[in-house]
Amino acid sequence: LNVTLQVWDIGGQTLGGKMLDKYVYGAHGVLLVYDITNYQSFENLEDWFSMVKKANEESNIQPVVSLVGNKIDLEHMRTVKADKHQRFCLENSLVSQFVSAKTGDSVHLCFQRVAAEILGVKLNKAEIEQSQRIVKAELVDYPQDEGPIRQENTQQSKICSVQ
């Protein structure tokens, strides 16, 4: 099943901006993203969630709302306890998710989950496992001083052929 999502990032704006409800009205899904190492960012979501509900008061469709704890790569610096997050989800029927935008951990799955919820389909095990796979790349520090590029033989062809 292929789904096309149109995603609007409306973060960075202050709540109460005049255009905000125009983006939110009629949305099929909303991701409320906070930083698990920043308690204030979690607290702010209560107001953002109220705005989402208010903006859609007169809409026929209510968006699937997901609470997304970002920066799970910084688990050791977490200040928002997981049970606080879960309670907020349970009380408001939100789809609970944790991601790391930095490592990519569960980011794909996050969008897949919301899309599946909107469509009312279940993700199968393979889909869930596949989107959780992270490829970690190590930076290799090659010696910088390999010497100057040899230039003595200017007759040599400059074409590099890979065989």
Shortest gap between Cβ of 106 and ligand GTP (angstroms)? 10
CB-CB neighbours of 144 under 10 Å: 5
**Encoding tokens for residue 141?**
């520090």
User: Is residue 100 part of the contact set for ligand GTP (CB under 6 A)?
Assistant: yes
Residue 75 neighbours by CB under 8 Å, 6+ apart: 36
DSSP 61: S
* Cβ at position 7, least distance to ligand GTP in Å: 13
- Would you give the end-to-end CA distance of the chain in angstroms? 41
- Answer for which of 21, 73, 117, 127 binds ligand GTP (CB under 6 A) is 73
Task: Find where tokens 């009312």 sit.
Answer: 120
Identify the three-state secondary structure at position 134.
Answer: coil
Residues 2-21 interacting with ligand GTP (rule: CB under 6 A): 11-12
- 18's tokens: 């005049």
Q: Is 38 in the site for ligand GTP (CB under 6 A)?
A: no
Out of 24, 30, 67, 70, point to the residue binding ligand GTP (CB under 6 A).
70
Among 20, 23, 39, 74, indicate the residue that binds ligand GTP (CB under 6 A): 74
Give the interface with ligand GTP as residue ranges (CB under 6 A). Answer: 11-12, 70-71, 73-74, 100-102
